[in-house]
Amino acid sequence: MSIPTREKALVAASLERYCDLKVPAGLRERVQLDFRFEGNGITLFERRARHQLPGQWRELPLASFRYVAGTGHWFLFWHDPEGSWHRADETPGTADFEALLAEVDRDPLGRFWG
């Protein structure tokens, strides 16, 4: 079962606000934050302009949020340098998407922002 329509709209609005506030307006020609829904999950990624290839962007995955329809909970995942995703076991699943987004922003273990 996919993410319920209302939940998806609320989460998209939260992520749009977060992405807009996180990157200062003066840097957005070079760095952007964006997200993509994929099945029962969402990937938050950073986009960086490619200096040698004008108009092209490189995407760097930052976090993944996965929704479990049976419980209505979201789970947080981090991306390692080798390209694999790992569940952030120290962060329990929750129905409160904003709590997981706040955890990404705090980044106490340096997994999302370095």
Half-sphere exposure of 86 toward its Cβ, with a 13 Å CA cutoff? 11
Q: How confident is the model at residue 1 (pLDDT cuts 50, 70, 90)?
A: low
What's this model's pTM, rounded to 2 decimal places? 0.92
Mean pLDDT of 44-57: 88
Q: How far apart (Å, rounded) are the C-alpha atoms in residues 103 and 24?
A: 20
Q: What is the pLDDT of residue 51?
A: 79
Report the percent of the chain where pLDDT is more than 90: 89
Using alpha carbons only, give the angle 32, 9, 86 rounded to the nearest 5 degrees: 60
Mean pLDDT of 80-84: 95
